[in-house]
Structure 1
């Protein structure tokens, strides 16, 4: 057995339009969106009567996608912390970018916030963390 590549990362979200806007502003493109329901999705998630909208986004010419999953019949949840989480498990996405200052400026049109500040790590990178909508944490890394 050989792993070939990472295909996508899934994120369960509540406000699909807001999250799509955030990732579009970051530079990803929408490659598909559809409403799903039925036995196959019920079986894969191990629940009954799932209705969802799934939107796939990726970097232009990239291979790995982000799958945004909006359940239409889920209980509301909240992620109120504005700071970086210390929870065990997945914590953030990292994107290699150019012109970190401009990207951060562009993201001001979304509901995201920069955490801390843009820092320079040795002579290697400029880095920062962004808290996007719905508690999605993103690391931006500009190679120097």
Structure 2
């Protein structure tokens, strides 16, 4: 039997209502737009199980080049119910966490894009300052600031 090992995680996929707004939001965090395309046809529907689909996709990459977000806007079939207003203890995928240099400054910038702080910015021991923020379309993300000094 062959030894099959995990090579890497390629990306996390997120379905959004507005691709342009999502690109602007994640660009503000510091991701870069790697590419944008329209995907359609029967082959794609065989992968997703949705049949014939038409989707606008944008691939965002982190500054270190190791992590990607695939943002998708479905033109057809139409999107269905969402769970974006669900609290953070809801079952399923919760959020994506980003490490930033300055949480307070990033929160201010994202609020200017219509985002809202979910709870408050808190400090975990002498290691991190953390918060959850909800984008204008309801998408939940986490922000973490590593603390290099002892408190």
**TM-score scaled to structure 2, two decimals?**
0.86
Q: Is the aligned partner of 1:70 residue 2:85?
A: no
- What CA distance in whole angstroms lies between the structure 2 residues aligned with 1:29 and 1:94? 16
Q: Is the aligned partner of 1:30 residue 2:44?
A: no
Max Rg structure? 2
**Count of residues in correspondence between the two structures:** 143
Q: Which moved more, 1:96-105 or 1:130-139?
A: 130-139
- What CA distance in whole angstroms lies between the structure 1 residues aligned with 2:102 and 2:96? 18
**RMSD, aligned α-carbons:** 1.7
The C-alpha deviation readout for 1:22-44, integer Å capped at 9, x for no partner, is 11111111000001111221111
- What CA distance in whole angstroms lies between the structure 2 residues aligned with 1:84 and 1:93? 15
Bigger relative contact order, structure 1 or 2 (CA pairs below 8 A, ≥6 apart)? 1
Q: Is the aligned partner of 1:130 residue 2:133?
A: yes
Q: Counterpart in 1 of 2:24? A: 21
Unmatched 5+ residue regions in structure 2?
none
Correspondence for 1:4 among 2, 7, 15: 7
Q: Is the aligned partner of 1:92 residue 2:92?
A: no
Q: Is the aligned partner of 1:55 residue 2:58?
A: yes
Please tell me whether the aligned partners of residues 22 and 111 of structure 1 are also in contact (alpha carbons under 8 angstroms). Answer: no
**TM-score scaled to structure 1, two decimals?**
0.90
Q: Counterpart in 1 of 2:116? A: 113
Q: 4+ residue stretches of structure 1 with deviation over 3 A? A: 75-80
Flag the 1:134–1:77 CA change in 2: closer, same or farther, 3 A.
farther
Please tell me whether the aligned partners of residues 99 and 146 of structure 2 are also in contact (alpha carbons under 8 angstroms). Answer: yes
Flag the 1:119–1:5 CA change in 2: closer, same or farther, 3 A.
same
Structure whose residues are more often strand by fraction: 1
Unmatched 5+ residue regions in structure 1?
none
